[in-house]
């Protein structure tokens, strides 16, 4: 990027005497000036703020400086890949199934989303968009998360739906924008959008970022909130890989949680949330449509899922099996949830497994002891064996 610089001062030639060779305007001088102009036109960026419609293809005002471009979209779509720091913001991955969550600290139904509360009673469920819903017809959404909260009065009582974003350093010292769709079952209740920094075990005390209240209606609508995430200069980051930046949607909050909830107060309500995006920058861009396979892989960093394992028979009706993970988990697994038992197979008659006991997590795999009450599946202890067509969730990898 360069400014135009004049090579020849033609005005000074007017004061020269007739016959002075410098008074002549030469073609090479003119060509040089045109070349200088061409370079400047081709490389110079206008550093002033542009009025709508902004750059070609933009539909809203944009700001351009020598070091930064701010605009809400490019050619009517998202600006670049993986802008959204929320995993499963589209609520489309639910490896644990669709059973309602009614206990605090439990994830689901949508992967990576945790129901968290004290004092209140609640039920978090999965909902589905249908034809006629804006997000179904034009927004690429299929599912949303609904929570019905019964408020119980108390300064320390609250409910929030949250996601912890791994690595507190990721967003530190930056401006971020949260965008989401929401609706209420009835009325115009207020929810709170809050953020906090968690420095993990052995790290500094958590930092609460002032939350913002948002009134919603009984119709789907999109809302945006912008936050300034504090620098972590001078903070101690824990060494056990549990530090994070947390995004919370408060549905109920006693006075103890006024700061992070935006002082929304306490009231029972039912709220649905969809297409959550958190991105660096002061403007919201179109929701990022991450391919379903990639979204599943991102979720499996925190909840590995396996179906087939290999190992050996340590009894005629039991074996130990190693299950390799498709994605390296955040930390080694510490437990297992059985969705479907597999089929024990060796030289004898294949048997359906009936129990699975977690043995250990090995970073990239999990080991289970699996037995069958349906009878022996091998005639020789120590023989190699396989387990096929099971469905096992290895737990303990969430933040």
SS3 for 3? coil
At 140 the pLDDT is 85
DSSP 330-341: SS---EEEEEE-
pTM, entire model: 0.83
- Please identify which residue in the block is written with the tokens 């002082």: 263
Between the alpha carbon of residue 65 and those of residues 2, 49, 51, 201, the distances in Å are 14, 8, 14, 41
Q: What phi and psi values does residue 109 have, to the nearest 5 degrees?
A: -60, -35
- Tens digit of pLDDT at every position of the chain (399 positions): 578 888 888 888 888 888 888 888 888 988 888 888 888 887 765 555 444 444 444 445 566 666 677 777 665 555 678 899 999 999 999 999 999 999 999 999 999 999 999 999 999 999 999 998 889 888 889 999 999 999 999 999 999 999 999 999 999 999 999 999 999 999 999 999 999 999 999 999 999 999 999 999 999 999 999 999 999 999 999 988 899 999 999 999 999 999 999 999 999 999 999 999 999 999 999 999 999 999 999 999 999 999 999 999 999 999 999 999 999 999 999 999 999 999 999 877 889 999 999 999 988 999 999 999 888 898 899 999 999 999 999 999 999
pLDDT at residue 58, as a whole number: 44
Neighbouring-strand partners of residue 336: 394
DSSP category for residue 347: S
Q: What domains lie within the chain, and their CATH numbers?
A: 10-43 (no CATH), 106-298 (2.60.120.260), 301-395 (2.40.10)
Residue 257 has a pLDDT of 98
Q: What is the pLDDT of residue 107?
A: 98
* φ, ψ dihedrals at 25, nearest 5°: -90, 115
């Amino acid at each position: 990027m360069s400014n135009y610089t004049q090579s020849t001062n033609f005005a000074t030639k007017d004061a020269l005497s007739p016959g002075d060779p410098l008074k002549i305007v030469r073609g090479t001088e003119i060509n040089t000036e045109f070349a200088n102009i061409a370079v400047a036109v081709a490389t110079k960026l206008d550093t002033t703020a542009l009025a709508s419609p902004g750059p070609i293809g933009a539909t809203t005002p944009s700001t351009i400086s020598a070091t930064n471009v701010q605009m809400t979209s490019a050619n009517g779509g998202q600006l670049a890949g993986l802008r959204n720091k929320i995993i499963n913001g589209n609520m489309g991955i639910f490896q644990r199934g669709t059973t309602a969550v009614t206990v605090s600290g439990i994830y689901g139904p949508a992967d990576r989303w945790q129901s968290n509360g004290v004092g209140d009673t609640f039920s978090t469920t999965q909902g589905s968009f249908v034809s006629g819903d804006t997000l179904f017809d034009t927004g690429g959404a299929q599912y949303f998360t609904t929570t019905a909260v019964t408020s119980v009065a108390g300064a320390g009582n609250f409910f929030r739906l949250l996601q912890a974003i791994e690595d507190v350093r990721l967003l530190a010292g930056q401006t971020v924008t949260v965008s989401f769709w929401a609706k209420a079952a009835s009325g115009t209740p207020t929810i709170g959008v809050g953020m906090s920094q968690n420095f993990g075990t052995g790290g500094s005390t958590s930092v609460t970022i002032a939350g913002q209240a948002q009134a919603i209606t009984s119709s789907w609508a999109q809302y945006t909130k912008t936050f300034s995430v504090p620098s972590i200069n001078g903070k101690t980051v824990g060494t056990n890989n549990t530090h994070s930046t947390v995004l919370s949607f408060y549905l109920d909050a006693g006075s103890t949680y006024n700061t992070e909830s935006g002082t929304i107060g306490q009231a029972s309500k039912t709220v649905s949330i969809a297409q959550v995006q958190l991105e660096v920058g002061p403007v919201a861009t179109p929701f990022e449509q991450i391919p379903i396979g990639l979204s599943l892989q991102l979720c499996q960093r925190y909840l590995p899922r396996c179906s087939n394992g290999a190992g050996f028979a340590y009894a005629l009706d039991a074996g130990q099996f190693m299950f390799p993970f498709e994605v390296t988990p955040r930390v080694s697994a510490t437990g297992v949830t059985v969705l479907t038992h597999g089929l024990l197979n060796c030289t004898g008659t294949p048997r359906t497994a009936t129990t699975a006991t977690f043995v250990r997590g090995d970073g990239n795999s999990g080991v289970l002891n699996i037995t069958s009450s349906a009878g022996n599946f091998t005639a020789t202890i120590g023989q190699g064996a396989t387990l096929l067509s099971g469905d096992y969730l290895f737990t303990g990898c969430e933040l």
